[in-house]
Chain A
Amino acid sequence: MTELRVEPKHMTTDGGAWLLVLSSVFLCNLLKILLPSCSSIISRFLQKDAEQESEMRSEIQNMKQELSTISMMDEFARYARLERKINKMTDKLKTHVKTRTAQLAKIKWVINIVFYILQAALMISLIWKYYSEPVTVLPSKWLAPLERLVAFPTGVAGGVGITCWLVVCNKVVAILLHPFS
């Protein structure tokens, strides 16, 4: 009875393994394509100073317009004061932008690193899981004379090993997603 109960379960995992690997690879590749936009969205959420920056920009613009209306000869003191103010504001904006850019780069870097770590972890766990178990099994004569290569590292005759399937999936998914990348 126990054998009868175990067998169908084993069959279902075997049946889904190829799809699981394929979907993992697909998701990883898709995320890799979407990573730049994802990181920019995340950084936008994390950085709330962008509004302040735009306010500063508009303020500088206004002051510059005002400066253009003032005659330097007639109202030198006012002109100089305003110019100093513009310079001060510009410097502040520059520092702000510099800080924000550095922060943005850092966020993007962290997101990339996290993504690659997660991807590596996923791949390693898949390889770990299907190290001795083929993702799918075919009649061994179909894969002759490459059955050993295809079955690596499982050693099951006619089985498709995780390494071979990962390579194939990566290649096919890369071809499929190439127009979108």
Chain B
Amino acid sequence: MEPDPVEGEGCGISRHEGVGGVAGSSPPLTGLPASQRRAEIRRRKLLMNSEERINRIMGFHRPKADDDSHSETKLQLEQDKPICLPAPVSKRVVLGDTVCSLSGTADHTSSLADHKGEKIDLFSKTHEVGSDGSSELRQRNRGELFDVPQRPPRHGLDQYLSRFDEAMKLRNQLMNEKPSQENGNAVEEFDSFHIFRLVGCALLAIGVRVFVCKYLSIFAPFLTLQLAYMGLSKYFPKNEKKTKTTVLTAALLLSGIPAEVISRSMDTYSKMGDVFTDLCVYFFTFIFCHELLVFFGSEVP
């Protein structure tokens, strides 16, 4: 790409910003009056900023092979270096530096400072990746940095967009759920199967206290009952149990964990909660019965 004459004048556009794809496609501004030129420069700057931001969000750095020699050498270095880079060292690796070790030295810092302009994208990106803690994303980033010439960045964009769609769906679901949760919370929590479970546990506790528990642990019948409930749950009408969308689920989804895995783990979590509730009711009823029997037993001569 030919360097733009306006950019050459130093009108506030940094070199880094000038490497955006937007500037490359626009016509030269030599024939325009000063005010229009200024407006055009501002427009380009804004567009480039947005592109840069998109790159940062998507988590990859679009290489500018034509005029950015720094990024080119940097990528070259990265392509040359992967063998000496240990797998868990993600931050330094992605920074694209010549240093392979984790220990931060003064030289390293100075080299970073020298190329700060060029590395700002990568640095912010690694920061984001590091903060969300997703190993998959980290791998993806690293992979993309290494495979930039082979793999088009479109894949990352698609992946990001699909995740973004999922997150938006989740958000909409959450927005729709909020009023209904306020109104129909009781219905949600106390469906027929839930009530059946609680009543069953209470009855079993009474039965165990009166008849069984003399030779057995009280938890053995409870476990049997839970097994029975597992089998019986098929025969109860399953009301559409809405998945509770929390910030945690949204975060997990955005960090690349499949929605199916999240929903399954949430399902397991809710089942564990149900079992714990049953256990509490069972134990409470048992103790209550026991104390009543002891009380009346002590009263009766």
Contact = CB atoms under 8 A, between A and B. Distances in A.
A172 B284 contact: yes
Interface string B264-301: 00000000000011001101100100110011000000
Given A15-B294, A18-B287, A144-B217, A172 B281 contact: yes
Given A15-B295, A178-B189, A179-B186, A141 B284 contact: no
A158 B218 CA distance: 12
Given A169-B284, A179-B186, A142 B291 contact: no
Given A15-B294, A172-B280, A146 B186 contact: no
B291 A136 contact: yes
Given A141-B217, A142-B218, A167 B280 contact: yes
A143 B295 CA distance: 20
A169 B287 CA distance: 11
B213 interface: yes
B205 to A, nearest CB: 11
B291 A146 contact: no
A168 B280 contact: yes
Interface in B232-285: 276-277, 280-281, 283-284
A139 to B, nearest CB: 9
Given A171-B280, A178-B190, A145 B291 contact: no
Contacts of A160: 287
A117 interface: no
Contacts of A144: 217, 219
B95 interface: no
B198 to A, nearest CB: 7
B295 A138 contact: no
Nearest to A172: B284
Contacts of B290: 136, 138
Given A167-B280, A168-B280, A136 B186 contact: no
Nearest to A165: B287
Contacts of B283: 168
Contacts of B291: 15, 18-19, 136
B277 A171 contact: yes
Nearest to B185: A178
B285 to A, nearest CB: 8
A160 B281 CA distance: 15
B202 to A, nearest CB: 10
Nearest to A144: B217
Interface in A150-169: 160, 165, 167-169
A175 interface: yes
Interface in B192-247: 198, 213, 216-219
Contacts of B213: 142
B178 to A, nearest CB: 18
Given A15-B294, A15-B295, A168 B217 contact: no
A175 B274 CA distance: 12
Contacts of A168: 280, 283-284, 287
B198 A175 contact: yes
Nearest to B277: A171
Contacts of B189: 178
B284 A143 contact: no
Contacts of B219: 143-146
B281 A175 contact: yes
B286 to A, nearest CB: 9
A171 B280 CA distance: 7
A1 to B, nearest CB: 22
13 contacts: A15-B291, A18-B291, A19-B291, A143-B218, A144-B217, A160-B287, A167-B280, A168-B280, A171-B280, A171-B281, A172-B281, A172-B284, A178-B190
Q: Which 5 A-B pairs have the closest CB atoms?
A: A171-B280, A172-B284, A144-B217, A168-B280, A168-B284
Given A165-B287, A178-B189, A179-B186, 17 more contacts: A15-B291, A15-B294, A136-B287, A138-B287, A141-B217, A142-B218, A143-B217, A144-B217, A144-B219, A168-B280, A168-B283, A168-B284, A169-B284, A171-B277, A171-B281, A172-B281, A178-B186
